[in-house]
Amino acid sequence: MNEENKFLGNEKISKLLLKFSIPCILSLLISSLYNIVDQIFIGNSEIGYLGNAATTIVFPITIISVAFAWCLGDGSAAFLSLCQGRKNTKDADKAIGNSILVSAIISIIFVILGFIFMDKLLYLFGASDASIGLARDYFKIILSAIPIYMLANTVNSIIRADGSPTYSMFSTLIGAILNIILDPIFIFALKMGIKGAAWATILGQIVSFIVSFVYFFKSKTFKLSLDSFKINFSIFGNVVKLGVSTFITQMSIVVISLVCNIMLAKYGAMSKYGSDIPIAVIGICMKVFTIVINVVVGIILGAQPILGYNFGAKKYNRVRQTFKIVITVTFIVGIISTFIFEVCPELVIKLFGTEDELYMEFAVKTFRIFLMFVTFTCIIKVISIFFQAVGEPIKATIVSLARDIVLFVPLVIILPKYFGVEGPLCAAPSADIFAFVISTILVAMFFEGISKEEENENTNAYVQKSKKGVIITISREHGSQGKYIGKLVAEQLGIPYYYKEMTAIAAEQSGLDKEFVSKINRTNNIIHDLYLTTSPVQYAIDAQNKAIRNIAEQGACVLVGRAADYVLQDYNNLVKIFIYAPKDYRVKNIMEMYNDNEKDAIKNVENSDKNRASYYKIISGKTWGDVNNYNLCIDSSIGKEKTAKIICEYVNSMV
């Protein structure tokens, strides 16, 4: 944990939120410009709502490409952050090179399949005989630039993780500005219609890509070479694992859009509005809705480091205060938006062009029904990201998917049977109500849980001065009695011993809570990898590693666990020990120590070893227990005293 991060636990929260949230809001609003500018100019051109229907049909198809791009980009960005902690630039280079290569390959496949199945895809996503021509014209041009679009989105996440968020924002901003400038020129001055809008979009994307590409010649923490692009399945697998949550989130947008478009086209055709008006209107509505969501998401993303640090430090009052401020601002944004959408939706709708009475009638109805509980939607999104910030990825996933997939999609299918074309519109507020209830219950349970948790007093553990000599790190299988053996070794050599003391020292030096630091490598194995990538846990890992290095600076000692062998790998006087034992021996020890029955003891041993292996892999990128990572591996079933004696003899032979 870097000393400078302590200001997150002391500075005025409102000041911190302004510092962190405003750049996030601006970045998200800039990115949303691509999705809305075309529709404003198209809606005000001679092609009108049919043009907007065409862009609405194409939009979810392009989101599929973004899902892959962001999965690879966010995954390699997260992997880069982990490699920065490990000081392992080689693996980071390969992860980034592999991600760029695979993104390029997927984009080419996407283009080929898109041209082969173009009409089938467009009809699937809601095209009618009236809109298919415009949709086809727009999609052909957009599809041709998909490789550029995907690569730009992939590398943007990497640039942010490399410590250059401003550059990343600039690359997106310059493309969006160019799109805004070119849209009226191509659509109106050159009379290119919907093709002009498509060309304006892809030219903006090309410029954004070029700006992003230039960055790779001056990157800070990685350098790409030809070797970086050779596929490494192990590293690439980790990238995909870290980026899969982003992929799921984006694909949920595709599912929502697909189902909504299909139902609106089907039931719209049975109504006086026809199929094209509902498709055009819902596209506008969704993109206006996205702007509102981006504002509140920017606020909570800015709050993430504040929440993460203070949760790790168990400064729960500051966590509550931050959450209260974010929810209050979110509520205000939601109420203002609701007022506009309910009282004067025409003001927003007319930005996208004025059409006949039927169009305006359905547009007003859509905004008033579909966005009726937009305040609830905003709060749901905020709660989902809040759970990510405090290291609760499972709760975050539940909240995120509850509204969009579990509730909204089934309701979009069911309600039109009873309410016709208005059914899909009613699905949104219905899903909002139920998801809001689920989200608030989970949040209430979370805060109730931390309220009951007793505040731990800081221990008096301190770094002990020691003599010059060997630093011994001990890794061990659960039940092998490694911590007891480590203590015996320390006593026989007359040097300090650290086990739980490491986490206590880390807590004192960083301001984090001792129990929180202690438990980071004991989480349920199912979610362990995801848990270890969350902000508060990364704070704790940094604090712990710093404490380990501070201990080692004082001289000879014995350190048990916490991947200390990796943290101190650069020390010349380091001896790395791994203690193992037959499983039945370890199970027997666990049964005696914890009074477990045999079944529980076996489960205890297996889960603990899996979590230690997972933690070690995340921290070091290496395999826990691999004999190549240690100086001495020893079977402790020969007895604690004998094992300790052999280790001492080995250490003394090296002096």
Spatial distance between the Cα atoms of 15 and 30, rounded to a whole number of angstroms? 23
CA–CA–CA angle 503, 606, 475 (5° rounding): 40
pLDDT digits (tens, 9 = 90+) for 129-138: 999 999 999 9
Compute the average pLDDT of residues 383-405. Answer: 81
Compute the average pLDDT of residues 457-480. Answer: 78
Helices of type H across 571-629: 583-594, 598-620
pLDDT exceeds cutoff 60 at 527: no
Q: Average per-residue pLDDT in the chain?
A: 85
Structure confidence at residue 460 (pLDDT): 46
Domains of the chain: residue spans and CATH:
36-268 (no CATH), 275-455 (no CATH), 471-654 (3.40.50.300)
pLDDT exceeds cutoff 50 at 3: no
pLDDT exceeds cutoff 60 at 289: yes
Percentage of the chain beyond pLDDT 90 is: 42
Spatial distance between the Cα atoms of 318 and 586, rounded to a whole number of angstroms? 43
Percentage of the chain beyond pLDDT 70 is: 90
Compute the average pLDDT of residues 61-80. Answer: 87
State whether residue 356 is helix, strand or coil: coil
pLDDT digits (tens, 9 = 90+) for 598-638: 888 898 898 888 888 888 887 787 888 898 889 999 999 99
pLDDT exceeds cutoff 80 at 81: no
Q: Which residues contact 82 (CB under 8 A, 6 or more apart)?
A: 533, 618, 621
Total-model pTM = 0.67
Structure confidence at residue 452 (pLDDT): 62
As given in the structure block, the two tokens for residue 408 are 């909204």
Structure confidence at residue 454 (pLDDT): 36
User: Is the Cα torsion angle 425, 427, 432, 437 positive or negative in sign?
Assistant: positive
Number of neighbours of residue 445 by Cβ within 10 angstroms: 10
pLDDT band at 513 (very low <50, low <70, confident <90, very high): low
Structure confidence at residue 6 (pLDDT): 59
Compute the average pLDDT of residues 320-339. Answer: 94
Spatial distance between the Cα atoms of 619 and 473, rounded to a whole number of angstroms? 16
Least confident of 268-272, 467-471, 514-518: 514-518
pLDDT exceeds cutoff 60 at 499: yes
Structure confidence at residue 438 (pLDDT): 93
Structure confidence at residue 102 (pLDDT): 96
pLDDT exceeds cutoff 70 at 515: no
Residue in the block written with tokens 């010059």: 468
Compute the average pLDDT of residues 256-261. Answer: 88
Of 469, 409, 460, the residue nearest 435 (C-alpha): 409
C-alpha 562, offset from chain centre: 25
Residue in the block written with tokens 């290119």: 192
Structure confidence at residue 536 (pLDDT): 66
Structure confidence at residue 300 (pLDDT): 87
pLDDT exceeds cutoff 60 at 75: yes
Q: Taking the CA of residue 556 as centre, how many other CA atoms within 13 Å lie in the half-sphere pointing to its CB? A: 15
Structure confidence at residue 534 (pLDDT): 61
pLDDT digits (tens, 9 = 90+) for 194-214: 999 999 999 999 999 999 999
Compute the average pLDDT of residues 135-155. Answer: 94
pLDDT exceeds cutoff 60 at 148: yes
Structure confidence at residue 458 (pLDDT): 41
pLDDT band at 508 (very low <50, low <70, confident <90, very high): low
**3-state percent breakdown (helix, strand, coil) of the chain, nearest 5:** 80, 5, 20
pLDDT exceeds cutoff 70 at 425: yes
pLDDT exceeds cutoff 50 at 121: yes
